[in-house]
Amino acid sequence: MSTTQETPLSGTDRTRLRRSKERGRSERAALYEVLDAGMICHLGVVTEGGPVVLPTGYGRIADTVYFHGSTAAHSLISARTGSVCMTVTHLDGIVLARSAFHHSVNYRSAVVFGEPRLVHDPDEKLAGLRAVTERLAPGQWDVVRLPDRKELAATAVLALSLTEASVKIRTGPPIDDEEDYALDLWAGVLPVRQSFGDPMPDPRLRPGMTVPDHVLKRA
């Protein structure tokens, strides 16, 4: 894995940052960090009617991300027949500047381009599904009922290689125009956080079932 981690992110025409180049990161580790901190991505595909962007789960194994969906899902069918763009964004803060123009957000985002392949190999398919499930709900795969033959057949798993990707990160205070620092205005960052609440048990829980440790420790 270390050789992979040391491979910098590609600089193709699509991934070359045009705006705010100083926010770009070229280390592969930064890509992994942004992807591994997320739970859903926004997947863009092109259909006959134009672009479609849908939120969906994903998982990563080394330099491949996996998506899954019903074999009948429209967006997944489009994804199978062409190029996609997968974006993961973490909103970290609202940047409150002294001028409207310099208002911004602190964020981490990863954008991956490529043509997904439909996974046929049963072992890779299961590994991909595990990766997607574990990204959302770590620890669950080891305890729940795993997919049976029928469920596997109803599920399409797509693999997207992390060969063409870019990462953009903004941190820190607002950057105001020099003369605006003299204004009598408060400026700074309002942090935005994502957290988990207390687990809400299914009303149909069997008696005596307690929240498992792997769920509790996230809440």
Task: For residue 207, report the phi and psi dihedrals to the nearest 5 degrees.
Answer: -60, 140
| Dihedral sign for Cα atoms in the order 55, 144, 31, 76 | negative
In Å, the largest CA–CA distance within the chain is 68
Cα–Cα dist 6/161, whole Å: 16
Assess contact for 183 and 118: CB atoms under 8 A.
Answer: no
Among 31, 129, 157, 165, binds a second copy (CB under 8 A): 129
Question: Nearer Cβ to a second copy, position 2 or 50?
Answer: 50
Cα–Cα dist 102/105, whole Å: 10
Judged by CB under 8 A, the chain residues 69 through 98 that form the site for a second copy are 69-70, 72-74, 82-87, 89, 91, 93-94, 96-98
Decide: is 209 part of the binding site for a second copy (CB under 8 A). Answer: yes
Beta pairing partners, 104:
95
Among 11, 146, 153, 217, binds a second copy (CB under 8 A): 146
Q: How far is the CB of 5 from a second copy (least distance, A)?
A: 25
Among 26, 99, 161, 163, binds a second copy (CB under 8 A): 99
> Shortest CA distance to 157 belongs to which of 78, 67, 58, 81?
67
Judged by CB under 8 A, the chain residues 38 through 67 that form the site for a second copy are 39-40, 42-47, 49-55, 57
Residue 60: helix, strand or coil by DSSP? strand
Q: How far is the CB of 111 from a second copy (least distance, A)?
A: 7
Q: How far is the CB of 6 from a second copy (least distance, A)?
A: 27
Assess contact for 130 and 157: CB atoms under 8 A.
Answer: no
Q: Which one of the spans 3-11, 23-31, 59-67, 198-206 is the region binding a second copy (CB under 8 A)? A: 198-206
Token duo for residue 197: 């609440």
- Report CA 107 to chain centroid distance, whole Å: 13
Question: Nearer Cβ to a second copy, position 6 or 212?
Answer: 212
Q: Which one of the spans 1-9, 27-35, 59-67, 138-146 is the region binding a second copy (CB under 8 A)? A: 138-146
Radius of gyration of the chain (CA): 21
Decide: is 217 part of the binding site for a second copy (CB under 8 A). Answer: no
Judged by CB under 8 A, the chain residues 149 through 168 that form the site for a second copy are 151, 155
Cα–Cα dist 167/34, whole Å: 8
Token duo for residue 60: 């990563």
Question: Nearer Cβ to a second copy, position 11 or 201?
Answer: 201
Decide: is 18 part of the binding site for a second copy (CB under 8 A). Answer: yes
The contact mask relative to a second copy for 167-196 (x = CB under 8 A, - = no) is ------xx-x---xxxxxxxxxxxxxxxxx
